[in-house]
Amino acid sequence: IFSQANPWLSLVQNLKNNFLAFVFFQASYWHVGINSRYLPLEGWVLYPPLIVFYWLGILSSLWKRRIFLFVGIVLIWPINILSLHTPDAARTLHALPFIYLMISLGLHLLISQISRFIDRLIVASDLRASALSLFNLTVLIFAIGLALHQFTTYWVWINQPRTLKSREPAIYSDDY
């Protein structure tokens, strides 16, 4: 960034781009250049239900675990802000642990709050245990369904001719 004619303008642009990319996770906010082969070319970089859990995790961290936000800022911002054409998938790989930590914290917050609500709502202990078991089963089915959807969506995306073409030049296994 400091090799640019106007490094301060580049710094402000990187701040804006990275903020929007890590708020909305839409492909249009990510740098789609030579590294577009690592990202879907349109749509979402992160699946929308995961974005909801990500923001719940951010809110949870603001409320109880500020150290996680500090670690996330230290992991993400220096590399992305001081590099050109960010964010892109190749230069943002180091952010994935933070992103998925926030998603897990958001899911934990949601499950905790709903469990507390069920505890307060249902007075009879046998009914409460059944309701909590049903809720836990629902969460498990939702998580498995979400993972399966992500898995199948990845294979649909990676096998599209447009994605395969963007990965060229490639070395094929027959060449070995």
Question: In angstroms, rounded to a whole number, what is the distance separating the alpha carbons of residues 88 and 76?
Answer: 12
Average pLDDT per block of 10 residues along the chain, 176 residues long: 84 86 80 59 78 94 91 82 72 82 92 88 81 89 89 82 71 67
Look up residue 3 and give its amino acid: S
Q: For helices 66-81 and 7-24, what crossing angle results, to 10°?
A: 130
**How deeply is 152 buried, as exposed, middle or buried, from its count of CB atoms within 10 A (0-12, 13-18, 19+)?**
exposed
pTM of the model as a whole = 0.78
Quote the pLDDT of residue 145. Answer: 92
**In b/e form, how buried is each residue of 99-125, taking b as 16+ CB within 10 angstroms?**
bebbbebbbebbeeeebeeeeeeeeee
